């Protein structure tokens, strides 16, 4: 006769803890790797084109970009790890979004390389004059506002994934920044795009960053088509919240 193993309540509790800790440990490892990789990439695209570490605009930008990101990672890891799991997904399922993401990557890279090159070779300074200190400081403040705004959006909408998809249990969000525009995360990202070249002291890079706004516009228009079809109540939400990206404009 085979002996039957007995499981005490302590064993059950221990197994439950181990099963719950393992996914969070993997998530933590992914977050650390993602943050380190993004930090290295940001350092590279800012300082390597500039050809110098004595680029104070780059250091300020790096600080106000990465610290809110790190704070958001820590907060959501403690309070909403599922949100971070969604934010770490990269594979798009919508064909139009796959195409947009494929073309946007080289555009983003080129845009972020331009400010450092401009500072290094003085293109804007020779043609338009040096960027005023007050304008650079104001632009850095707007970068910080954009990053904090993005964290606010994620706090309000736990289904704000990086990829375009509708999940089981997802609901229309109409509170917080969603009262003003339908796509507040793109709105705050647009703030980052507009003020990044000015914060880094480059007029020349501004047109390139404006092209990134076109990418956001195309992406959100396609996203709305998906949400209207798959997310119950989204069409009614659009009737009440008229503006997509910029309040009282579009």
Give DSSP secondary structure letters for 52-115: -S--HHHHHHHHHHHHHHHHHHHHHHHH-HHHHHHHT-----SHHHHHHHHHHHHHHHHHHHHH
Range of the domain at 31: 9-240
- Which residue in 7, 148, 140 sits closest to 71, CA to CA? 148
Distance CA 161, CA 82 (A): 10
Q: 238 near 228, Cβ under 8 Å? A: yes
Per-residue pLDDT at 49 exceeds 90: yes
Q: Which band of pLDDT confidence, cut at 50, 70 and 90, is reported for residue 2?
A: very low
Lowest-pLDDT choice from 4-8, 90-94, 145-149: 4-8
Q: Which band of pLDDT confidence, cut at 50, 70 and 90, is reported for residue 97?
A: confident
Question: Could you tell me if residue 4 is inside a domain?
Answer: no
Higher pLDDT, 17 or 201: 201
For residue 4, what pLDDT is reported?
A: 47
For residue 12, what pLDDT is reported?
A: 54
Question: Could you tell me if residue 98 is inside a domain?
Answer: yes
Question: Could you tell me if residue 162 is inside a domain?
Answer: yes
Residues 6+ apart with CB under 8 A from 6: none
Per-residue pLDDT at 6 exceeds 70: no
Question: Could you tell me if residue 250 is inside a domain?
Answer: no
142-165 mean pLDDT: 91
Question: Could you tell me if residue 67 is inside a domain?
Answer: yes
For residue 34, what pLDDT is reported?
A: 93
Question: Could you tell me if residue 109 is inside a domain?
Answer: yes
Count Cβ atoms within 10 A of the Cβ of residue 239 and give its class: 0-12 exposed, 13-18 middle, 19 or more buried: exposed
CATH number at residue 211: 1.20.120
For residue 13, what pLDDT is reported?
A: 52
Question: Could you tell me if residue 249 is inside a domain?
Answer: no
Distance CA 66, CA 198 (A): 18
Lowest-pLDDT choice from 19-28, 40-49, 100-109, 184-193: 19-28
Question: Could you tell me if residue 150 is inside a domain?
Answer: yes
Residues 6+ apart with CB under 8 A from 186: 216, 219, 220, 245
5-30 mean pLDDT: 63
Per-residue pLDDT at 100 exceeds 80: yes
Which range has the top average pLDDT, 1-5, 119-123, 213-217?
119-123
How many separate domains does the chain show? 1
pTM of the predicted structure, to 2 decimals: 0.85
């Amino acid at each position: 006769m085979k002996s039957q193993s007995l499981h005490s309540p302590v064993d059950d509790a221990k197994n439950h803890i181990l099963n719950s800790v393992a996914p969070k440990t993997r998530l933590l490892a992914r977050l650390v790797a993602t943050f380190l990789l993004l930090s290295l990439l940001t350092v590279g695209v800012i300082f390597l084109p500039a050809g110098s570490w004595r680029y104070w605009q780059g250091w300020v930008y790096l600080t106000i970009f990465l610290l809110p990101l790190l704070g958001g990672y820590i907060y959501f890891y403690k309070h909403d790890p599922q949100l971070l799991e969604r934010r770490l997904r990269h594979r798009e399922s919508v064909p139009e979004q796959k195409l947009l993401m494929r073309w946007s990557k080289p555009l983003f890279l080129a845009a972020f390389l331009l400010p450092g090159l401009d500072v290094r070779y003085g293109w804007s300074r020779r043609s338009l004059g040096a960027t005023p200190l007050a304008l650079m400081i104001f632009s850095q403040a707007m970068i910080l506002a954009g990053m904090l705004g993005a964290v606010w959006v994620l706090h309000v909408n736990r289904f704000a994934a990086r990829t375009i998809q509708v999940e089981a249990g997802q609901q229309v969000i109409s509170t917080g920044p969603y009262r003003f525009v339908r796509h507040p995360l793109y709105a705050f990202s647009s703030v980052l795009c507009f003020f990044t070249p000015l914060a880094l002291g480059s007029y020349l890079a501004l047109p390139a960053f404006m092209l990134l706004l076109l990418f956001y516009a195309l992406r959100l228009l396609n996203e709305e088509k998906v949400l209207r079809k798959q997310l119950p109540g989204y069409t009614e939400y659009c009737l009440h919240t008229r503006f997509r990206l910029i309040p009282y404009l579009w």
